[in-house]
Amino acid sequence: MFVKVLCFVVLLKCVVAVGESQNQATTRQRYSGYNVNNVNQNDYISKIFGTVTGLQSSSHDINQKLDEIDNKVSRIDSETRNGFASLKNVVGHETPSATLNHVKREIEAMRLDLMSTTHKRQADASSSEPDCSEKLTAIATLLTSTRSAIAGIQRDFMSFSTNMSQLLALSSDIHKRQHLLPTKQYLNNVVHATTSPHQRIPPVYGILNNPPRLGSSCFHISQLSSSVTGDIEIQRIQVPTIPEPFFVLCDHETQDGGWTVVQQRIDGTINFNRNWLEYKNGFGNIAGEFFIGLDKLHAMTTSALCELLIVMEDFENNTRYAKYSAFAIAGEREDYAMNLLGGYDGTAGDSLSFSASYKFSTFDNDNDGWVEGNCAQAHTGAWWFNACEMSNLNGQYLGGNEGTGKISANNQFQGIYWNTFNGPNYSLKSVKMMIRPVAERTNFYSNLD
Ligand SMILES: *[C@@H]1O[C@H](CO)[C@@H](O)[C@H](O)[C@H]1NC(C)=O
Ligand SMILES: *[C@@H]1O[C@H](CO)[C@@H](O)[C@H](O)[C@H]1NC(C)=O
Ligand SMILES: *[C@@H]1O[C@H](CO)[C@@H](O)[C@H](O)[C@H]1NC(C)=O
């Protein structure tokens, strides 16, 4: 009985031993597999060899143990026959020979099982040994080529990232220079211009996709404080709806600055009694007397909500101002009507609200509210005439005679006048009309009064 139990223990240990050696082999392989990049290949291969050898020797051990078991079982057989009587007492009702046969069958089944496994493994180990070494060689070759492939990929990657950063640098350079590239539209224009002798080649900035960054108003420029060089200065601006940038006079001094001057009278050197086309396009000298032009005024007052400031001076050196919280004029199709004029504030009095909503008129284009007559002709000016006006800042420069602004009776309304500041029998010494965006400064609705 005791011997029989011992035999079972031996058998179990045997099975466990085989299982363990198998597990160890697979575990080691798996571990090596994960670290194929780091572990020396020779190391790896010798480990595989070790595992195979281990498998072979454990098969040998198993055979030996099986032989032992065989012997032991034979011995049990005979001993059991001898101890038949005592065994009968233990197993009770079962016949001893049946029990013994049962045990024998069990042991035999296990033995066969074990034998077949062992033989299979032995056969594998011996018959596939040349195969195995071939496979190992193949794996080693594969590993070597994989390693060199990885090194190659690494080299390519390094070169690729170098190329990539060069490309990035290049593309940002191109991006910076992109505005210098003419568009198809521009080239078309040039072709047109060169084929028709009277047309001038359009300036390149007029048709650029990406023109150089310019302020869109004097206020915008004043926000880029480094570009402001003086209280009153000429700057170049670019208004969204006008393709070409243009020069403007900026007043960075009056009422917190940031004003774009749209009209200026100072000494009468420029004739303001001009026709529609000239008022449309603008005229004069931006560094002196000028009118900026209705197209530009329309573009500027519609690209951003603007306020209007008019500063006037008489020959007694009195300065007055009239400020309107909002100001915009329509386009040419609506005859540049003053379709937005906000609330008045100032010291000169309000002499402009009378013109709000009225169209612009010149002597050759009468859009005024005076049915029977022509305000522009009668008052020698160009303005948003009602029937006719309370101010005529584009009137004739009539002041200055003997250092005074007083004008003769037949010139009433014809000078540069502001009804609430010296009236229509006076022609002012200087006038400056200026606009400034308000939308980005304050809440536009609270400014409309
Ligand atoms: C990087 O650029 C060089 C030429 O400048 C080229 O020969 C090489 O093939 C490029 N490498 C990659 C990965 O594109
Ligand atoms: C107005 O100012 C100018 C210079 O700024 C001066 O020459 C002139 O005398 C002044 N006129 C009066 C009436 O004060
Ligand atoms: C302007 O002068 C004319 C003619 O002298 C006169 O009839 C008119 O009342 C004056 N207007 C004002 C506002 O003083």
- DSSP assignment of 358-388 equals PPPBBTTB--SS-SSS-HHHHTT--B--SSS
Q: What average pLDDT does this structure show over 184-206?
A: 63
Secondary structure letter of residue 173 according to DSSP: H
Closest-approaching ligand to the CA atom of 155: 1
Q: List pocket residues of ligand 3, CB cut-off 6 Å.
A: 409, 412, 423-425
- Judged against a pLDDT cut of 60, whether residue 201 lies above it is answered with no
Backbone angles phi, psi at 260, to 5 degrees: -100, 120
Q: What average pLDDT does this structure show over 55-79?
A: 62
Q: Is the CB of 316 under 6 A from ligand 2?
A: yes
Residues whose CB falls within 8 Å of the CB of residue 44, separated by 6 or more in sequence, listed in order: 32, 36, 143
- Judged against a pLDDT cut of 60, whether residue 195 lies above it is answered with yes
What the block records as the tokens of 327 is 């100001």
* pLDDT of the residue at 224: 73
Find the 418 Cα to ligand 3 centroid distance in Å: 14
d(CA 265, CA 429): 8
Q: What average pLDDT does this structure show over 278-297?
A: 97
Closest-approaching ligand to the CA atom of 162: 1
Find the 161 Cα to ligand 1 centroid distance in Å: 10
Q: 57 falls in which pLDDT band (50, 70, 90)?
A: low
207-231 per-position pLDDT tens digit: 445 545 788 899 988 887 666 777 8
Residue 156 Cα: closest atom of ligand 1:
13
Residue 403 Cα: closest atom of ligand 2:
13
d(CA 382, CA 377): 9
The residue whose CB lies within 8 Å of the most ligand 3 atoms, and thus the one to mutate among 420, 422, 425, 427, is 425
Closest-approaching ligand to the CA atom of 313: 2
**pTM over cut 0.85:** no
- In this structure, the residue with its CA closest to atom 4 of ligand 1 is 163
Find the 410 Cα to ligand 3 centroid distance in Å: 10
